[in-house]
Amino acid sequence: MARQNSTGSLADVSRRAGVSVATASRVLNGSTHPVSEHTRRRVLRAAEELGYSPSALARALVTKRSRIIGVVVGDIVDPYFAEITRGVEDVAARAGYMTIVCNADRRTEAELAQLQLLSDYRAEGVVFAGSGYVEDPLGEELADAVRRARVRGMEVVSVALRDFDCPRIHGDNRAAAHDMTEYLISLGHRRIAFIGGPPGLYASRDRFEGFRDAMLTAGIDPELVHEGDFGYDRGYSATERMVADGELPDAVIGANDATAIGALGALRKARVAVPERVSVAGMTDTRLARFSDMTTVGLPIYDFGASAARRIVGEGADQPSETVLPHRVVARSTTARRS
Amino acid sequence: MARQNSTGSLADVSRRAGVSVATASRVLNGSTHPVSEHTRRRVLRAAEELGYSPSALARALVTKRSRIIGVVVGDIVDPYFAEITRGVEDVAARAGYMTIVCNADRRTEAELAQLQLLSDYRAEGVVFAGSGYVEDPLGEELADAVRRARVRGMEVVSVALRDFDCPRIHGDNRAAAHDMTEYLISLGHRRIAFIGGPPGLYASRDRFEGFRDAMLTAGIDPELVHEGDFGYDRGYSATERMVADGELPDAVIGANDATAIGALGALRKARVAVPERVSVAGMTDTRLARFSDMTTVGLPIYDFGASAARRIVGEGADQPSETVLPHRVVARSTTARRS
DNA sequence: TTGTAAGCGTTATCAG
DNA sequence: CTGATAACGCTTACAA
């Protein structure tokens, strides 16, 4: 394998143009330093002829600005993260930054490794897209790593609840779940089942608590609670079980859209009418929900990413260190008034 | 903004350990060059104490190996691309590479820009995940850019049909559509509608032609053809129109899963029974299809990405320059024998 | 307006 | 086994 991969250097260009590298550099990088029109043209032409393109690596090395933003996600394939990533990408690209997406499989250990890698590349900023774990054994270590990274000048921002210190842009999971639950209750449902997220995640906990509190407030015992993992399958199997056990609820809430769609799948399979017999709702309003015309609670996740990126590229330095973006219940066809 | 962001240099470590930078470098990067156990320990400790982490940038500059792989996708949020990206990411990470995902919005112009950016960062390889356009006005320019990149030593591989010269790993879109169509015909359907992809894309053309040929072979006129854009909405609206016009087909094929799910949505809305009254099928078997329990034709898209990445990190140098991976019809609940 | 030269943090070549 | 030292490709005072 030829691992050459260079376009010729500034030295080549300057030689060809008959000027110094300094001068070549000045014209080729939009420096404000004055350069005569004549010289400028010569340099530009030389660069053109050589097909020169500057090495972002070398440039980053000396300027100490890599123009790299990292996004650490739980799983790229999850539309929730894809949407956040898209938000980051869009503003990053506009500001001339590269976005590096790193998968962490929802494991803190992997997050640690990705942070290290990003740090090796001297990323200027990293956004943590996934939620953290309650009492994470690796929590302290990650917090330390983040602290060190920030001391070194790296901008860190999270778009979920995390146990390390950094600016945060997120939604209110508890309130969102609360509102969804209230909505269902307002529709006349009483036996409402909740299929949660991965155990230990703050997001899971908060969404569950929002559900529980709303139920309690309405004087209903929140007894139908199942564990999930933000995946379709667990939503499906949990619902399948309810069907099999003959304890069909009035409604089921999935801790995220994929889970709720799993529930929808199991109900369809069992030929239980939705929403006539049971209502189904998800959370976060990813495309999945829209595609299934499913009721959910919308969170501005694209904006989570976009705002985070803005902070990093320096357009949001004036923002408060904690920003909570609003959610709203999006009623669609999988929920209806209790018959 | 403090844009410092460094961990201290090799020089700092070597000074603290009382050795030369050369020696420090040797122990800190797994060089084979012999170093005494005693010195090694000193260096390791110094590095530890300083929280030293090497600059991948500086390293890349001198070794000429950036360990960066770029993926140029049409749209991250499209699960098709997300899955490919995941494949790339997985093998890249295992080989110690960083993956940079670049959005091109399905525009050749943007692809060109992304390729340039990737080239600035001296990416060792880039995988083009999206299909190309027939008679693309920018086609020649892109082909040129790719040629130059390859000359410089960059590994380029595409996982779809493209008009530039590079190794390719992909599926047979035409055959896939053909097989899907044949399957539907074998179920007794005659009036089969096809909702295509974005006009001009090779993938759109091939899938359409596969459909058309299968119809023709069966002696059926492929008359129900609608334009789409690989998005949900066009699948929905095209189907809505068929419903409104009272020309309900026996079955509808979407050029991809999102399109087919749009069709499903419109049918559900119009209270047309699926699959009893009309069958619906998609293509590529993304999670969307599975979540909707929808018939589709499966393409190993994760493997597209994984194989492409393997070539780049050097594990697939022996592979032929063109690899066609197999597809298969995945029958689920949205298709049935004609009643 | 242009050039010289000192880095940036590594690796690699050569001598000891 | 260890250490100078010259790159790598670029930016940026500082001089001229």
Is A289 contained in some domain? yes
Is A209 contained in some domain? yes
Are A145 and A248 within one domain?
no
Is B178 contained in some domain? yes
Is B333 contained in some domain? no
Place of tokens 């930078």: B21
Nucleotides on strand C with an atom closer than 7 A to protein CB?
A: 1-5, 7-13
CATH number at A209 reads 3.40.50.2300
- Which residue, counting CA atoms, is nearest to the C1' of nucleotide C13? B22
Are B208 and B145 within one domain?
no
Are A294 and A177 within one domain?
yes
Q: What is the pLDDT of residues A95-106, one digit of tens each?
A: 999 999 999 999
Question: A258 — contact with chain B (CB < 8 Å)?
Answer: yes
Are B272 and B287 within one domain?
yes
Of the residues B19, B36, B63, which one is the last residue of a structural domain?
Answer: B63
CATH number at B42 reads 1.10.260.40
Q: Please, which pLDDT band fits residue A5 given cuts at 50, 70 and 90?
A: low
Q: What pTM did the predictor assign? A: 0.94
Min Cα distance A194 → chain B (Å) is 19
Nucleotides on strand D with an atom closer than 7 A to protein CB?
A: 1-5, 7-13
Are B186 and B256 within one domain?
yes
Q: What is the pLDDT of residues A151-162, one digit of tens each?
A: 999 999 999 999
Residues from chain B that touch A57, judged by Cβ atoms under 8 A, are: 57, 60-61, 66, 121-122
Is residue A8's pLDDT more than 90?
no
Are A282 and A270 within one domain?
yes
Helix axes A232-244, A257-269, angle to 10 degrees: 40
- In this structure, is the dihedral angle defined by the CA atoms of residues A204, A209, A215 and A218, taken in order, positive or negative? negative
Give the model's pLDDT for residue B2.
Answer: 39
d(CA B6, CA A153): 8
Min Cα distance B26 → chain A (Å) is 18
d(CA A339, CA B199): 46
Is residue A3's pLDDT more than 80?
no
Low-confidence ranges of chain B (pLDDT < 70): 1-6
Is B163 contained in some domain? yes
Contact A72, A114 (CB under 8 A): yes
Is residue A207's pLDDT more than 80?
yes
Q: What is the pLDDT of residues B211-241, one digit of tens each?
A: 999 999 999 999 999 999 999 999 999 999 9
Phi, psi (rounded to 5 degrees) for A109: -60, -45
Is A339 contained in some domain? no
Residues sharing a CB contact under 8 Å with residue B201, sequence separation 6 or more, in sequence order: B106, B131, B132, B133, B134
How many Å apart are A13 CA and D6 C1'?
Answer: 22
Q: What is the pLDDT of residues A284-307, one digit of tens each?
A: 999 999 999 999 999 999 999 999
Give the model's pLDDT for residue A1.
Answer: 41
Is residue A232's pLDDT more than 90?
yes
Q: What angle do CA B328, A233, B79 make, to 5 degrees?
A: 55
d(CA B11, CA B19): 9
Is A330 contained in some domain? no
Q: Which of residues 37-96 of B touch A (CB under 8 A)?
A: 51, 53-58, 60-61, 64-66, 75-77, 79, 82-83, 85-86, 89-90, 93
Is B1 contained in some domain? no
- Checking each nucleotide's C1' against the CA of A52, the nearest proves to be D9
Task: Give the best residue of B122, B271, B296 to mutate against chain A (max A CB count within 10 A).
Answer: B122
Place of tokens 């390889």: B125
Interchain proximity A101–B101, CB inside 8 Å: yes
Range of the domain at A46: 10-63
What are the structure tokens assigned to B279, written together?
């069958």
Mean pLDDT, chain A, as a whole number? 95
Q: What is the pLDDT of residues A166-188, one digit of tens each?
A: 999 999 999 999 999 999 999 99
Residues from chain A that touch B93, judged by Cβ atoms under 8 A, are: 103
How many Å apart are B25 CA and C13 C1'?
Answer: 14
- DSSP bridge pairs for B126: B70, B156
Are A227 and A78 within one domain?
no
Give the model's pLDDT for residue A265.
Answer: 96
d(CA B192, CA B254): 11
Tell me what percent of the residues of chain A surpass a pLDDT of 70.
Answer: 98
Of the residues B36, B63, B90, which one is the last residue of a structural domain?
Answer: B63
Are B163 and B100 within one domain?
yes
Min Cα distance A219 → chain B (Å) is 34
Are B84 and B187 within one domain?
no
Are A47 and A32 within one domain?
yes
Are B121 and B90 within one domain?
yes
- Checking each nucleotide's C1' against the CA of A12, the nearest proves to be D9
Phi, psi (rounded to 5 degrees) for B65: -135, 105
Domain count, chain B: 3
Burial (CB count within 10 angstroms: exposed 0-12, middle 13-18, buried 19+), residue A271: exposed
- DSSP bridge pairs for B158: B128, B168
Are A196 and A167 within one domain?
no
